[in-house]
Amino acid sequence: MKKILTIMLLGLAFGAGADNMASEDAALLQELGIPVHPDAMYVYGNREAGIRFASNKPVDEIRAWYVEQLDTWSVIDQFGLWAIYDGPEGASFPDVMSTHQVTISVNDEMPGWYSLDDDMTTEVVVQIAP
């Protein structure tokens, strides 16, 4: 019980939780049709820097969900990057980087960076094209 209370207080102190995403960023994601996985928690970011979420679900499960939700988008899996992007299949790496995209990977540093539970290592980053 004490641990749960401590985690809740740390979450409030450090701004963890989807409710703390700027309303204009949440509205932009909705306008662009970019969903947020139901088990992902907002941890940091904005339109310019990328909007970062964390989850304790396996990377493959989160990726499959985004592929299903964004079924008109394409996937790139090369150079150590897995991303689903709003562009044609087979686009070049620079072209992919200039589109709306969602990258999903394991980041073992997230719990330490954002005072999260140790299992919150799936990182979801939404990048909005300029």
Report the percentage of the chain scoring pLDDT > 70.
Answer: 85
**CB 53, CB 105: distance < 8 Å:** no
- pLDDT tier for residue 1 given thresholds of 50, 70 and 90: very low
**CB 94, CB 78: distance < 8 Å:** no
Sequence-separated (6 or more) residues with CB below 8 Å from residue 127: 50, 100, 101, 102, 103
Report the percentage of the chain scoring pLDDT > 90.
Answer: 78
Q: Quote the pTM value.
A: 0.83
Residue 8 has what pLDDT?
39
Torsion sign across C-alpha atoms 113, 114, 120, 123: negative
User: How confident is the model over 86-104, as pLDDT tens digits?
Assistant: 999 999 988 999 999 999 9
Residue 19 has what pLDDT?
58
Q: Residue written as tokens 């960023």?
A: 25
Residue 13 has pLDDT above 70, yes or no: no
